[in-house]
């Protein structure tokens, strides 16, 4: 249940002079007096331990090409992304963004254009993959254009070129749709229709205006290397941005409460997926990945992440040392996890914003990264083991950070 008093307090703290906040306060007061909303607001919030984002949606009756007027206020890249994912497919929104940094994140989820009106600057957009007329047809040949496109997405080069990754299996696709990911297309075999859950998934995809293509096992086998052949796969839009611009400035907006996980050269995609799943559960603001190591869009990583790929803001960096140096200059505490550190985790005090760095499964953090961290910490353990699996270590580090900030 939404705490509207908390919502208003957040909006007033973030943007007290914005006219939309005043209108919402008036509508809420009317609601308290009459039990009805005038106008009818739809409110989405985000945040785990504290509220850090609010999306206000008001049905638009005066503009024929817009479904909602949308007011969006967010404190972090993650809260912005979660709110945009909550915006319904097929609907066109006229977005009022409270700060300029939000426009970069907006393009990750929506497609549209900036509109200048007498009332100010807005973004009119629709969720990627839901604006065009959806196709519903059978693909019988492997050379079909959509099959060729999906086949390209099986390679990392194709994923990066087309800014799409692939989700496999009905359960993972159901999760992607529930999370509001900007899904582009769905391939399914007759086997999907053999179960009530499969039929429900397909019905939902039709309702969400997703292009759906029925294919044979042979065509499905040509677009994925997974065996046995899955009954369904779906392509999802993404933007895998560099953390630093060419000028060395962060492409990442952060507040003083942010936390980040940095994974340096993690080689195993299953490990990386488990790291992302844990980071998602621990509420990190973003994850930064080195250019060397497993791709977050490898099918094993996507499966192991349990939906974190697509929900979490993910960034890439060719030089982790440069990133850490820039973060420290911006006031971040950067803690490197390594079994060779003298200081134990439990004796370490965390101060936000905080970044935690974990390294390669075999070699750990590189000497260069260790040297530029604020501190190095180790996880104490009984004799017999000298280190933990990198995904487990990341979880221990992140949840100690979470524990300290909940006290």
Helix (H) or strand (E) holding 355: strand 354-358
Q: Is the pLDDT of residue 380 over 80?
A: yes
pLDDT digits (tens, 9 = 90+) for 132-177: 789 999 999 999 999 999 999 999 999 999 999 999 999 999 999 9
Is the same domain home to 64 and 206? Answer: no
Query: Measuring CA to CA, how many Å separate 286 from each of 217, 281, 304, 330?
Result: 38, 12, 18, 16
Q: Band of the pLDDT at 385, cuts 50, 70, 90?
A: confident
Q: Mark which of 205, 237, 269 sits at the end of a domain.
A: 237
Could you tell me the strand order of the sheet in which 68-74 lies?
A: 42-46, 53-59, 68-74, 92-97, 120-127, 110-117
The whole-angstrom separation of Cα 155 and Cα 135 is 24
Is the same domain home to 30 and 86? Answer: yes
pLDDT digits (tens, 9 = 90+) for 293-323: 999 999 999 999 999 999 999 999 999 999 9
Q: Mark which of 127, 151, 168 sits at the end of a domain.
A: 127
Is the same domain home to 256 and 224? Answer: no
The whole-angstrom separation of Cα 362 and Cα 109 is 36
- Looking at the structure of the chain, the number of domains it has is 3
The percent of residues in the chain predicted with pLDDT above 70, rounded, is 100
Give the pLDDT score at 335. 97
Give the pLDDT score at 269. 98
Mean pLDDT of 102-131: 90
Query: Measuring CA to CA, how many Å separate 202 from each of 116, 134, 153, 265, 376?
Result: 39, 13, 21, 38, 49
Q: Mark which of 180, 214, 237 sits at the end of a domain.
A: 237
More confident residue, 352 or 325: 325
For residue 168, the 8-state DSSP code is E
CB atoms within 10 A of CB 380: 9
Is the same domain home to 326 and 198? Answer: no
The whole-angstrom separation of Cα 315 and Cα 252 is 9
pLDDT digits (tens, 9 = 90+) for 192-233: 999 999 999 999 999 999 999 999 999 999 999 999 999 999
- Helices (H), ranges, 306-373: 308-311, 320-329, 367-372
pLDDT digits (tens, 9 = 90+) for 28-43: 999 999 999 999 999 9
Is the same domain home to 393 and 261? Answer: yes
Is the same domain home to 99 and 146? Answer: no
pLDDT digits (tens, 9 = 90+) for 323-344: 999 999 999 999 999 998 999 9
Give, in degrees to the nearest 5, the angle at Cα 48 between 42 and 54. 30
Contact 282, 275 (CB under 8 A): no
Contact 45, 51 (CB under 8 A): yes
Tell me the pLDDT of the chain averaged across its residues: 94
Q: What's the CATH code of the domain at 366?
A: 3.40.1280.10
More confident residue, 346 or 161: 161
Query: Measuring CA to CA, how many Å separate 134 from each of 82, 119, 130, 149?
Result: 25, 34, 8, 16
Is the same domain home to 28 and 89? Answer: yes
Is the same domain home to 257 and 357? Answer: yes
Q: What's the CATH code of the domain at 145?
A: 3.30.1330.30
Query: Measuring CA to CA, how many Å separate 270 from each of 55, 175, 227, 383?
Result: 34, 19, 17, 27
Q: What's the CATH code of the domain at 71?
A: 3.40.630
* 49 CB-contact burial (10 Å; exposed 0-12 / middle 13-18 / buried 19+): exposed
Is the same domain home to 74 and 215? Answer: no
Query: Measuring CA to CA, how many Å separate 141 from each of 20, 145, 148, 174, 220?
Result: 52, 9, 10, 26, 10
The whole-angstrom separation of Cα 23 and Cα 291 is 46
Q: What are phi and psi of 83, to 5 degrees?
A: -70, -40
Is the same domain home to 245 and 218? Answer: no
Is the same domain home to 269 and 367? Answer: yes
Tokens representing 91? 């609907």
pLDDT digits (tens, 9 = 90+) for 44-74: 999 998 999 999 999 998 888 999 999 999 9
Among 224, 237, 246, smallest CA distance to 180 is for: 237
Q: Is the pLDDT of residue 119 over 80?
A: no
Q: Band of the pLDDT at 407, cuts 50, 70, 90?
A: low
Q: Band of the pLDDT at 383, cuts 50, 70, 90?
A: confident
Q: Band of the pLDDT at 249, cuts 50, 70, 90?
A: confident
Contact 176, 310 (CB under 8 A): yes
The percent of residues in the chain predicted with pLDDT above 90, rounded, is 82
Is the same domain home to 178 and 286? Answer: no
Among 313, 253, 324, smallest CA distance to 280 is for: 313
Provide the domain limits for residue 392: 241-406
More confident residue, 368 or 132: 368
């Amino acid at each position: 249940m939404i705490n509207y008093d908390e919502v208003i307090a957040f909006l007033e703290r973030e943007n007290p002079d914005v006219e939309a906040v005043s209108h919402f306060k008036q509508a809420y007061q009317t609601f308290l007096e009459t039990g009805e909303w005038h106008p009818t607001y739809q409110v989405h919030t985000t945040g785990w331990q504290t509220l850090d984002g609010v999306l206000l949606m008001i049905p638009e009756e005066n503009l024929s090409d817009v479904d909602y007027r949308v007011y969006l206020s967010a404190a972090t890249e993650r809260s912005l992304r979660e709110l945009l994912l909550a915006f319904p497919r097929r609907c066109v929104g006229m977005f009022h963004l409270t700060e300029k940094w939000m426009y970069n994140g907006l393009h990750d989820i929506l497609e549209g254009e900036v509109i200048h009106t007498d009332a100010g600057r807005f973004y009119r957009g629709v969720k990627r993959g839901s604006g065009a007329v959806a196709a519903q047809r059978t693909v019988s040949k492997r050379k079909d254009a959509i099959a060729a496109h999906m086949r390209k997405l099986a390679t990392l080069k194709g994923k990066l070129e087309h800014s799409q990754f692939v989700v496999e299996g009905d359960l993972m696709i159901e999760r992607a749709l529930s999370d509001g990911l900007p899904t582009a297309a769905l391939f399914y075999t007759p086997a999907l229709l053999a179960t009530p859950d499969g039929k429900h998934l397909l019905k939902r995809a039709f309702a969400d205006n997703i292009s759906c293509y029925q294919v044979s096992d042979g065509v499905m086998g040509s677009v994925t290397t997974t065996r046995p052949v899955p009954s369904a796969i779906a392509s999802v839009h993404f933007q895998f941005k560099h953390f630093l611009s060419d000028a060395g400035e962060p492409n990442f907006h952060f507040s003083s409460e942010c936390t980040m996980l940095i994974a340096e050269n993690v080689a195993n995609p299953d490990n990386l997926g488990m790291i992302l799943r844990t980071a998602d559960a621990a509420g990190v603001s973003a994850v930064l990945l080195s250019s060397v190591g497993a791709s977050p869009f490898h099918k094993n990583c996507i499966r192991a992440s349990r939906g974190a790929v697509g929900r979490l803001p993910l960034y890439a960096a060719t030089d982790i040392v440069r990133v850490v140096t820039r973060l420290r200059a911006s006031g971040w505490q950067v803690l490197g996890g390594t079994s060779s550190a003298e200081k134990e985790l439990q004796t370490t005090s965390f101060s936000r914003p905080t970044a935690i760095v974990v390294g390669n499964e075999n070699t750990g953090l590189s000497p260069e990264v260790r040297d530029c961290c604020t501190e190095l910490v180790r996880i104490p353990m009984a004799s017999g083991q000298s280190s933990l699996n990198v995904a487990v270590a990341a979880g221990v580090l992140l949840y100690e950070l979470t524990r300290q900030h909940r006290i």
